[in-house]
Each structure stands twice: as structure tokens, then as C-alpha cells.
Amino acid sequence: MWDWFINFLTDILAGLAGFVGDWGLAIILLTFIIRLLLTPLTMKSTKSSAKMQALQPRMMEIQERYADDPTRQSEELRKFYSENKFNPLGGCLPMFLQMPVFFALFTVLQKVPAEAHFYGILDSLSQSVSGAISANGWQGAIVYILLDVLFGVLTLIPMLLNTQNSAPEQASQTKIMGVVMAAMMMWFGWSVPVGVVLYYDTSAAWGVIQQVFITQRVMESIKAQEAERLKNQPVQVDVVRKERKQRPHKKD
């Protein structure tokens, strides 16, 4: 199945390269096609994330109330998810669906012609940043290095955008995590084919633009709707019935 997917992706990329006359542009077009196909799921994921943020105070309340009873806590959270039609993993699906393409490109780029380039800007899409430095020196590999830095920056930006409406402590933790993730991605991008980095940069840039102009508005709208709905929900009282004990009988 994986081999079939590799061959299928290679054929698509080769077809796009033949159509536009450039392998780098073909990778960018492939990224656009994948992102367009995932747009409905991405919007669904955005709504799920917004709903999670709106429901977060209630979920924390349940976790605190039943902190000493993990079994009851899990039951109450499942009940809460069911009543509010919420799936905690709903926001992760688009990312999971993109991962096979991301990893398949490692193998695909080993099959492209050695002269496959991006309009002469990148001499070889199968070359890594470290390989380009070894072959051309730091000055000759400047574009490769910039793409790798962009790899880290585009990893950091979405996380910074997500801190805008967060509590100060949570925002600080997210920023630290974002910096660590950005550094890890640049380290990862240093040794992989630059075509993979080009794919990620294009996809991440699309995601940032979408988040700034579309996602934030959708999230604010959904969060407002959920907040209003929760506000109008009847207050549920958690009643725990005590066991009825028999009264002692008087002896005659």
C-alpha cells in the first residue's frame, strides 16, 4: 500500500512538473492541491478547536470536582463530550492526513531526476541544506539556509497567533514550546531534501495566511456561539444520594 502511494505521488509530481516545466513549482502546486482538498476538514477542525476553547472552563471544572475519583472524572467528561457533541481529537485530522505526503516526499525526491531544480534558485531538490553547504559553501547555499530558517519561523508563527487570547501563564508556556519546536524543525530541515522543506514552507505559509484572514474569525464566531449556548443551559446539580441506613430496633 505504501509503495503504491509512493508511486502514485511520484506520477502526480512528474505530471505537474511536465505541465509547468519545473519540479519546484510542481511541489508548490501539489501543496496547493492538497491544502484545497483538505479545506473542508480544516474548517471543521477550526470549529472543533474553537469549541474546545469555549468548553475548556467547564471541562476544568469537572476535572477539579472529581480530581480524587479518576473513574468518575472520565465518565463525567465522556458525558459532557456527548451532551455537547464534541470530539477532543477533531482538530487533529487535517494534520494527520498531511503526514503521509510529508514523509512520502522523502522517497519521491530520491526518484526525481538529479537535475530537478526550482527555476535555478535551488540547484537540486534532492539536495539537503548541509549537502548544499558542503558542495557550494555557505554563500552558495544561502537560499537553502533561508528556506530552513523559514521552516522554523513558519512553525513558530501559528503558535504565537494562538496565544493572543490565552491566559498569561499559558501564553508563556506556548511561546517557549513554540521556540523549542521551531529549533527542532530547523535542525530536522538541515539534513532532509530541500524539496521536503519547500513543501512544508508552502503548506505552512498557506496555513498562516488562512489562520490570519479566516480561521481567527471563524473561531471567534464559534466561541461566541458556544459561550451563549452554555450560558443559557440549565444549571445541573450534582446530587449524591446517601445510603439509607436502617434504624436500630429496640429490644423488648
* SS3 assignment, position 31: helix
**Residues 114/124, Cβ–Cβ less than 8 Å:** yes
Q: Alpha carbon of 208 to those of 109, 147, 216, 245: distances in Å?
A: 26, 16, 11, 63
Query: What is the average pLDDT score of the chain?
Result: 78
Q: Is the full-model pTM beyond 0.85?
A: no
pLDDT tens column, 116-140: 888 878 888 888 899 999 988 998 8
What span, in angstroms and rounded, lies between the C-alpha atoms of 207 and 229? 29
Average pLDDT over residues 41-65: 74
CA nearest neighbour of 62 among 92, 86, 90: 86
How confident is the model at residue 231, as a pLDDT?
Answer: 64
Helix axis angle, 194-210 relative to 23-65, nearest 10°? 60
* SS3 assignment, position 183: helix
What span, in angstroms and rounded, lies between the C-alpha atoms of 76 and 70? 10
Minimum mean pLDDT among 30-39, 96-105, 210-219: which range?
Answer: 210-219
pLDDT tens column, 159-205: 887 776 666 777 788 888 888 988 999 999 898 889 889 998 998 89
Average pLDDT over residues 6-30: 90
Model confidence at 155, pLDDT cuts 50, 70, 90, reads: confident
- pLDDT exceeds 90 at position 29: yes
Share of the chain above pLDDT 90, in %: 15
Model confidence at 145, pLDDT cuts 50, 70, 90, reads: very high
What span, in angstroms and rounded, lies between the C-alpha atoms of 215 and 47? 9
Model confidence at 42, pLDDT cuts 50, 70, 90, reads: confident
CA nearest neighbour of 227 among 90, 57, 43: 57
Average pLDDT over residues 67-72: 82
Average pLDDT over residues 67-93: 73
> Residue 144: how many CB atoms within 10 A of its CB?
26
- pLDDT exceeds 80 at position 233: no
More confident residue, 120 or 149: 149
CA nearest neighbour of 196 among 136, 159, 137, 144: 144
As beta bridge partners, residue 122 has 118
More confident residue, 208 or 143: 143
Model confidence at 77, pLDDT cuts 50, 70, 90, reads: confident
The torsion angles phi and psi of 217, rounded to 5 degrees, stand at -65, -40
Q: DSSP assignment, residue 18? A: H
C-alpha cell at 10: 511520484
